[in-house]
Structure 1
């Protein structure tokens, strides 16, 4: 099922923008070096709002004015430290078409390398001097559209990406009221600069140790599993806590199910890595429109036997304990600690052992607030997973109210995982 490239061009900011080096924090540099590939799938609506490459290009040019670092390139400052060089060279926009795919082919979409290759632009390297933003707009046989974004991880995290796409889409559909309510990006990352002198108050070797093994990620298959409101009620009830969060309940269930599906021995130790947004956890809080990586990776640990034999609340409590330790003192101590470690090494991504899981939450982010004039996307997802053991938890459309769990697992574990995932948590035993 082929996708034909029609045009590839660089889109420059619509106005003159600052030309400077944008300092990036230790939390940016310790983030995985690469592009975040996402897709948005739209059904045809025809009429005045029908897909127009010219409208999309003009809107991108306007959006690149406040988000001008996306028109730059990754570079180095005078000391050799990585920075974003705000050169104004532009973002890459590719237009394409497919006479084979329709919107219905993306129903229950699960990320794969093949789908990323067809619908999301790629480059050979994510190291300097590389581009910061690439976008492919593919018109489908049915009249629908797929937008595939590749945004460099040093540009910003998921919350920053959501604000950019909200702004970009509001410009494209000509919604001046929405544009007026959206905040401008907060670009100054020096508020996360390490203290002088550094003050390391905690032992951070555990948090900064490499999650990823050397070498390529292990082969995996992916699945996009839906949780209805009824499913969520069951999970929360089985956690036994009056006010357990949706995220804690889901992650505890996934953690437990993966251990069983992988056939891990009861005396093995299993690790659950949890990136936590620190915007509201530091003092003073970071602006909600902070453009940068504001994620801190914490870890929950348990013996497989304990996790499987106890109630779901056992895992949920381990998750809560891991998240609660991420406070102002801990984050600032970690940023200071990173002054003394090899950040380049920590940013490299390989595979994870099958005793580990990494769960990323996109809950609460306006991921479907991306109407470019064609209505709300029917599908929004990562286009490709990093490898086995990665999980993304995200809200569905406003219409369905479902939660999507997008997961990559070893081929021989996935079938059992999917079966266990939908059983009552009370009967999920090894």
Structure 2
């Protein structure tokens, strides 16, 4: 039997370097957090060129990296201590209710793994599709957030390649959203790069959860057992590709969408989302009558009145939905589809956010693979464009690529990353069944948009 491509060398748990009184009370979860209990952890990672030993320094640079990263994690967890905890549940039988919270007192801490792989950077980046082995660069494979009762809420896996280093971060999505995820990584990277041993944080995370006026923490999830709201999902065979849009191509696409809609308000993100929406729906060869959706995951913080600070640590996202029948979407131009998405974004207001929370508290729903979250005729767009991903260097210089794990992959999942070269370029991670991906790759409108040929 051949040995596994990725081999674990060591693993341990990391606690905050020192504890404060603040960690003792339980951290209650908000509606935005609790609805995520049955979906996967967030799994994103950065691929770096391997640091080299100089003639004057014979210390193993990878060993030095791991030691320093552990120390930096311990310091960072002082401020982000919920990530060192575990989930816990209080429940009663009559009437049935669940209360899920974060317990930071009885936990071994965040998990840290060192692994090796007999692979090169080229093995990861050269294939047309993202290799399945990338999924092995992350811990908590296929874990759902409710598993955080027994699994660490944060796990960092450092995988040493022949000529590279991959750092994979797995974080519980009932504890943080993408905004908080990258806030934590930015502070961790800054702590790693600081000259002093205990650098301060100018804008620390705000750990107290937001609840609407008149409501305390949510203690009445109407379930007698977690099996009533937990659902696990195994994805069908899928292809995953990274499509690169240059800044020039994006500018042309945005100009086309605005010209066709007689507007100047459509953003680059809305223009590319509309292109992908139209072309994937065409590639699926669907009948004309069903309703298709393009769901955009949007940050609530700046949309609320008063706004939630950017440092709010937790989930604060909502799903905005553009809708059209298959026939409407394909019969109209790109600008028409982009305007549908623009209208959905414009409707993202304080009132809409509060209405969602109030309805959820009246009738709590835990997202699963059902229609509450996914439309089989739709797409789900996630954007990581504003998070300064490539600023997280960990002493190795700028990463050469970002990749994700198995988590939350399904037919029609699209994630936007900033392009490695910057300048407003974008990389789209698109996941589709093989036959749909093949049709997208030969779709004239998609390839023209990708290459800026109009």
Q: Which residue of 2 aligns with 1:126?
A: 145
* 1:63 corresponds to: 76
Which of 146, 154, 158 is the matching residue for 1:137?
158
What per-residue deviation string (whole Å, max 9, x for no partner) do you get for residues 293-330 of structure 1?
11011211102222122221101111011122121111
Cα deviation digits, residues 209-240 of structure 1 (max 9, x gap): xxxx9964443211110001121122112202
Q: Which residue of 1 aligns with 2:35?
A: 30
2:30 equivalent to 1:19:
no
Range that drifts further, 368-377 or 394-403: 394-403
TM-score scaled by structure 2? 0.83
Equivalent residue in structure 1 for 2:418, among 378, 386, 395: 395
Distance in structure 2 (CA, Å) of the matches to 1:171 and 1:197:
37
Aligned position for 1:85: 103
CA contact (8 A) 2:293 2:322 kept: yes
Q: Work out whether residues 251 and 268 of structure 2, in 8 Å CA contact, stay in contact via their aligned partners in 1.
A: no
Q: Which runs of 5+ in 2 are unaligned?
A: 92-96, 217-230
CA RMSD of aligned residues (A): 2.8
Residue 107 of structure 1 deviates from its aligned partner by 1.7
Residue of structure 2 equivalent to 1:220: 238
Q: Which residue of 1 aligns with 2:114?
A: 95
Give SS of 1:259's match.
Answer: helix
2:436 equivalent among 399, 410, 413: 413
* Mapped pair 1:43 → 2:56: no
- The range that moved more, 286-295 or 350-359, is 350-359
* Distance change >3 Å, CA 235–CA 175, structure 1 → 2: farther
Query: Aligned with 2:78: secondary structure?
Result: coil
The yes-or-no answer on 1:184 pairing with 2:210 is no
Find the counterpart in structure 1 of residue 250 from structure 2.
Answer: 232
The 5 A counterparts of 1:13-412 are: 13-17=16-20, 18-31=23-36, 33-47=39-53, 50-51=61-62, 52=64, 53-77=66-90, 80-87=98-105, 89-98=108-117, 100-107=118-125, 111=130, 114-122=133-141, 126-127=145-146, 128-142=149-163, 144-175=164-195, 182-189=202-209, 191=210, 193-196=211-214, 216-239=234-257, 240=259, 241-343=263-365, 346-349=366-369, 352-384=374-406, 385-399=408-422, 401-412=424-435
Change (3 A) 1:176 1:405: farther
Is residue 29–residue 100 contact of structure 2 (8 Å, CA) maintained in 1? Answer: yes
Q: Distance in 2 between matches of 1:25 and 1:119?
A: 27
C-alpha deviations, 1:166-215, integer Å up to 9, x for none?
A: 111122222569965652111111x2x134379xxxxxxxxxxxxxx996
Equivalent residues of 1:111, 1:383 under 8 A apart? no
Asked whether the 8 Å contact 2:137–2:166 carries over to 1, the reply is no
Structure 1: stretches of 5+ with no match in the other structure: 199-212
Cα deviation 1:352-391 (Å, max 9, x = unaligned): 4541111111111111121111112111122235211111
Deviates more, 1:60-69 or 1:164-173: 164-173
Structure 1 range deviating more: 237-246 or 164-173: 237-246
SS in 2 for 1:337: helix
How many residues align? The count is: 408
Q: CA deviation at 1:139?
A: 1.2
**Is the contact between residue 11 and residue 90 of structure 1 (CA under 8 Å) also seen in structure 2?**
yes
